[in-house]
Chain A
Amino acid sequence: NAGVTQTPKFRVLKTGQSMTLLCAQDMNHEYMYWYRQDPGMGLRLIHYSVGEGTTAKGEVPDGYNVSRLKKQNFLLGLESAAPSQTSVYFCASRGDRYNEQFFGPGTRLTVL
């Protein structure tokens, strides 16, 4: 099992450009999450999904969109990137056991 994978690992964007981050999990988990983590800070929830075809807003959803067309994939989109979106983005998935979320390795995004 690969667990949770994220693509790409690094990306540099110019202000106004768009991009999509891909998260994939092979654990058949229902719940998936996107977080961002700024330097020296904890993680903040952007959007989450409780099942295929569903999405919901987290703490900091502005400037991001998500889609969960397939159970194993959760996409995070930035339509018009801003320097304030420079961060490390983590994807996670959760099954039914406890509150154990499994995190991906992260995507380091820089917006110039």
Chain B
Amino acid sequence: LAKTTQPISMDSYEGQEVNITCSHNNIATNDYITWYQQFPSQGPRFIIQGYKTKVTNEVASLFIPADRKSSTLSLPRVSLSDTAVYYCLVGRMDSSYKLIFGSGTRLLVRP
């Protein structure tokens, strides 16, 4: 399973766009990139997944360069409720796939 590296913490202010970058230098051809969000005392929640280029949903955008060695989660116009831990995970989607969570990035959104 590809190892991921992301910043330990980030600060932002309400209304700003936040970009969290994840490095995954040894990503394999069949690996997908998945991001989860976790609020205190809750289980993680799926945000977005992608393989290459750009993926956008109602919550976030995911940018993946051509070499796929990194990815960037973009949260538009954050609010206080976006304060959470964000995890970047890399792996295949077959039945044996096991999600390996790192320590994640703690995002603090200030008023």
Contacts and interface: CB of A to CB of B under 8 A. Distances in A.
Contact of B34 (A35, A43, A56, A98): A98
B43 A90 contact: yes
A31 B101 contact: no
Interface residues of A, number: 27
Contacts of A101: 36, 44, 46, 99
A78 interface: no
Interface-central residue, B43, B87, B103, by most chain A CB under 10 Å = B43
Contacts of B98: 33, 45, 48, 58-59
A106 B42 contact: yes
Given A99-B49, A100-B49, A45 B100 contact: yes
A98 B45 CA distance: 13
B95 interface: yes
Given A42-B103, A45-B100, A59-B100, A99 B45 contact: no
A98 B44 CA distance: 16
Interface in A1-49: 4, 30-31, 33, 35, 40-45, 48
A36 B45 CA distance: 16
A48 B100 CA distance: 12
Contacts of B100: 45, 59
A42 B105 CA distance: 10
Interface of B: 32, 34, 36, 41-46, 49, 87, 89, 91, 93, 95-104
Interface of A: 4, 30-31, 33, 35, 40-45, 48, 50, 56, 58-59, 90, 92, 98-106
